[in-house]
Amino acid sequence: MSTIIYPSPIFGPVHSRRLGISLGINLLPADGKVCSFDCIYCECGFNKDHRPTLPQPTREEVAQKLEAQLQKMQAEGQLPDVLTFAGNGEPTCHPRFAEIIDDTIRLRDKYCPKAKVCVLSNSTFIHRPQVHDALMRVDDNILKLDTIDPLYINKVDRPNGAYDVNAIIERMKAFNGHIIIQTMFMRGETEGSREGEKESVDNTTEEYVGPWLEVVKSIKPQQVMVYTIDRETPALGLEKATREQLDAIRDRVIAAGIPCTASY
């Protein structure tokens, strides 16, 4: 099973199917994964299989390495379209996340003022005022909401510790539209709670899509991104949602007056 552990704190530039030419900023350790979720589809693998030994990069290290990379790209005449916070886990868990966002905006303004600053987050720390305020300052605040069904969340996203999806939804509304919702749709099955048992992970059915869409409408995001599995997953038995299913979901979101893209 192939997993991806990204260099830290800077990786790429890479071509992202959702974001264009992107320079990655990874606030997690370089030799493992740290996340408040443990998604069964995570390209970095399961948390338990990739425990890091190195620390998270410091605020100063991130700024220094980012500036050096932007200077290099400037000299080569190829500046990024987007600076993307992603990598080996959840970026907003970094204790200096808010200050790192400010450093990044400053460096973006200096070297590539047309580039967007984008954060991909699983939403678990958006209750922290500093995280909320920092996300309000970035261009693309992309937050995960795979479903609103707590059982499905526990089976697929697998939060570490307490997770209240209704509280997350309220926090999403507090962005007043400065939010892009990202939702993974997939089919197939995974190991159940009892040995030998299989459970469906299909969230493309009306049972999941209908209630999710109602909540999305209530959050009033600037955009929705629906996507599906793109790489090998740590859990076996997962299947991609079909192009037709994703298109149908996308069209329902658009019909509700919210821009939406589908990635296959």
Q: 141: closest CA among 119, 114, 125, 108?
A: 119
Measured from the CB atom, the residue of 59 and 144 that comes closer to ligand SF4 is 144
Q: Minimum Å distance from CB 233 to ligand SF4?
A: 10
Four-CA torsion 153, 2, 58, 119, nearest 10 degrees: -50
Distances (CA, A) of 263 to 16, 107, 183, 229, 246: 11, 30, 11, 9, 8
Pairing verdict, β 82-85 and 20-25: parallel
Question: Rounded to the nearest 10 degrees, what angle do helices 165-173 and 206-219 cross at?
Answer: 40
Positive or negative torsion for Cα 127, 96, 42, 107: positive
Measured from the CB atom, the residue of 90 and 140 that comes closer to ligand SF4 is 90
Measured from the CB atom, the residue of 25 and 35 that comes closer to ligand SF4 is 35
Q: 184: closest CA among 243, 221, 225, 228?
A: 228
- The two tokens of residue 155 are 């089976």
Q: Minimum Å distance from CB 259 to ligand SF4?
A: 23
Distance of CA 68 to the CA centre of its chain: 25
Binding site for ligand SF4 (CB under 6 A): 35, 37-39, 42, 44, 89-90, 122
Measured from the CB atom, the residue of 111 and 185 that comes closer to ligand SF4 is 185
Q: Minimum Å distance from CB 65 to ligand SF4?
A: 21
Measured from the CB atom, the residue of 44 and 66 that comes closer to ligand SF4 is 44
Q: Minimum Å distance from CB 232 to ligand SF4?
A: 13
Q: Minimum Å distance from CB 172 to ligand SF4?
A: 15
